[in-house]
Amino acid sequence: MIGSMLSQTKSTLREEVRQRISKLPEEIRIQASRRMEESLVGRPEWKTAETVALFLSLPDEPQTRGILRSAWEAGKRVVLPKIDIREGLTWWRMPPSNLPETSTLWEPSPEKAEHVSVEKIDAFLVPGRAFDARG
């Protein structure tokens, strides 16, 4: 019972945050994405990471393309997630040339990417809409 109440509360909170974000002017969302990128690339964990796990954001999420470019420019190995029916979440190294031009729900193609085991990843950027002091 507590679990289902918590799940419902989280779902309600996610929807409320999604609606609030959707009402923000695009320029504000762009500025917030830039601040997120500046904050991330200044962190010691980012600076020392050789392989970073990122995600391609959807249009209504903080944009990650700048972070992807910063990672490649810094010589980092960028890995992106792909769901595999048998293996679950898998990670694939993506060269910049294989990045799609538009923000869509997109996964790396195994024919154009290299599989990377999770143990080889130094840092993860985890998507989320809202966080409290405990994450």
Domain hosting 76: range is 2-124
Mean pLDDT in residue range 13-22: 85
Residue 129 in any domain: the answer is no
Instruction: For residue 47, tell me if it sits in a domain.
Output: yes
Say if pTM beats, i.e. exceeds, 0.75. Answer: yes
Does 133 fall in a domain? no
Mean pLDDT of 68-83: 91
Neighbours of 122 (CB within 10 A): 14
Helix 65-73 × helix 26-41 angle, to 10°: 30
Domain assignment of residue 116, yes or no: yes
pLDDT at 127 over 70: yes
* Residues 6+ away with beta carbon under 8 Å from 51: 76, 77, 78, 79, 93, 116, 120, 121, 122, 123
Q: What is the CATH number of the domain that holds 25?
A: 3.40.50.10420
The total number of structural domains in the chain stands at: 1
Q: Does residue 51 form part of some domain? A: yes
Which pLDDT score is estimated for 6? 66
Indicate the average pLDDT of the chain: 84
Residue 66 in domain: yes
Residue 106 has pLDDT above 70, yes or no: no
The answer to whether residue 102 is domain-embedded is: yes
